[in-house]
Amino acid sequence: MCRVLDVSVSGYYQWTQRSESNRSIETRKVQEAIKRIHKENREIYGSPRIAICLQEEGFRCSKPRTARLMRSMGIRSKVAKKFKVTTDSNHKEPIAHNLLDQVFVGDFINDAWTSDLTYVWTGSGWLYLTVIMDLYNREIIGHSFSKRMTAETTVNPALDMALITGDQTEG
């Protein structure tokens, strides 16, 4: 091995007996502190905040060094996704009249239905869910899951199911 690495045998054995350098000891302590600070702060702190915490604890560690050590340890901050508005209420399309006027009660089966569409994050991406409820008995009479948010893939199948279910409960 010494021949391949082009080092003397005595130099190799001297290297194996050498004690750990001060810089190496300090780096190990800083890495342990980084792990602890990162965990204590729900893994949301990045290198700038962790560098400040390290300096408050007495370590002499810059932001670039902290970032480099975090990168070498595979530690990253969890970044919260920004809120994205998905509803556009400022449009010129016709708006349907509110026939229920916030009175969510049905006097008999199939008297009034209500519906909602939402989206759910899954391991395979976003799924869109449409649900239709009969206000008389609060029964879900139609629902639909879809990978795309279009009327053809979400609302229409839920409405078709509700029409079939509604016909069966009425008779």
Segment 93-117, tens digit of pLDDT: 888 888 888 888 888 888 889 999 9
pLDDT of amino acid 170: 61
| Helix (H) or strand (E) run with residue 129 in it | strand 125-134
Residue spans in the chain of domains classed CATH 3.30.160: 82-171
**pLDDT interval class at 134 (50, 70, 90):** very high
pLDDT of amino acid 139: 92
User: For residue 168, which phi and psi values (nearest 5 degrees)?
Assistant: -75, -35
- Report whether 121 contacts 139 (CB < 8 A): no
User: Based on the number of CB atoms within 10 Å of its own CB, is 162 exposed (0-12), middle (13-18) or buried (19 or more)?
Assistant: buried
Q: What does CATH list as the number for 82-171?
A: 3.30.160
Q: Quick check: pTM over 0.75?
A: no
